[in-house]
Amino acid sequence: MSGALLPREFFDRPVQEVAPALLGHRITHRAPGGDVTARITEVEAYAGPLDPASHAYRGRTPRNAVMFGPPGFAYVYFTYGMHFCMNLVCGPDGLSSAVLLRAGEIIAGEEAARARRPRSTVRDLARGPARLCQALGVAREQNGLDVCSAGGPLTVHVGEPADPALIRCGPRTGVNGAKEVPWRFWIDGDPSVSPYRAHVPRQRRNPVR
């Protein structure tokens, strides 16, 4: 599925503006095993050094270095020792803000997405940030890719923007710092949107005596 790319200028804005504006646009990954396109239905905004929930809150590290680069690049990270999640870098170079892609509707390449997630229902193919990465075939190798580059393997395309009347916002899912900040945005009523889950601190197991 082709179409005009979102220009870099789209991402070169405050992250709180970019996040809801991404809803309804499309992300495509051309990958071994098949190309897949998802319509973005749920996102979260993270505001770099101003945001205790951001990976960049305490400064630059080898892991988050992409966040400090120009807007319009993918920041992919590994979490819980088992999943990848994908963000799109926003704002001026050096600001380190990004939008986490939380969910999407697969609109092209469903067969390839199903091969990557064989036990999933249609609704759950890309319902959640890890599932979205799995369905698209996104992993560590896609970290740092330019999503505004024509002909690139990972690109974000102009779709039909979400109806403003259907855009909702609320607390971000599963974060500890700044957990009440309403920077999660989603399309109301879309079945691909993931359920809200508050952060639950991990309990340490009592040592065996």
The verdict on residue 208 lying in a domain is no
Domain count, the chain: 1
pLDDT in tens, 152-177: 999 999 999 999 999 999 999 877 77
pLDDT band at 208 (very low <50, low <70, confident <90, very high): very low
Phi/psi at 198 (5° precision): -75, 155
Distances (CA, A) of 94 to 37, 87, 155, 168: 29, 16, 22, 29
Measured at the CA of 192, the angle between CA 186 and CA 195, to 5 degrees, comes to: 65
pTM for this prediction: 0.91
Residue 200 lies in a domain: no
In a domain, 105, yes or no: yes
pLDDT of residue 82: 81
Residue 22 resides in a domain: yes
CATH code of 43's domain: 3.10.300.10
Q: Looking at the domain assignment, is residue 64 inside a domain?
A: yes
Does residue 205 carry a pLDDT above 80? no
Q: Establish if 207 belongs to a structural domain.
A: no
User: Predicted confidence band at 209 (pLDDT cuts at 50, 70, 90)?
Assistant: very low
Angle, vertex CA 82, rays to CA 190 and CA 204, nearest 5? 105
- Rounded CA-CA distance 35/108 in Å is 8
CB 44 within 8 A of CB 99: yes
Structural domain span for residue 67: 8-187
Asked if residue 197 belongs to a domain, the reply is no
Q: Residue 2 domain-assigned?
A: no
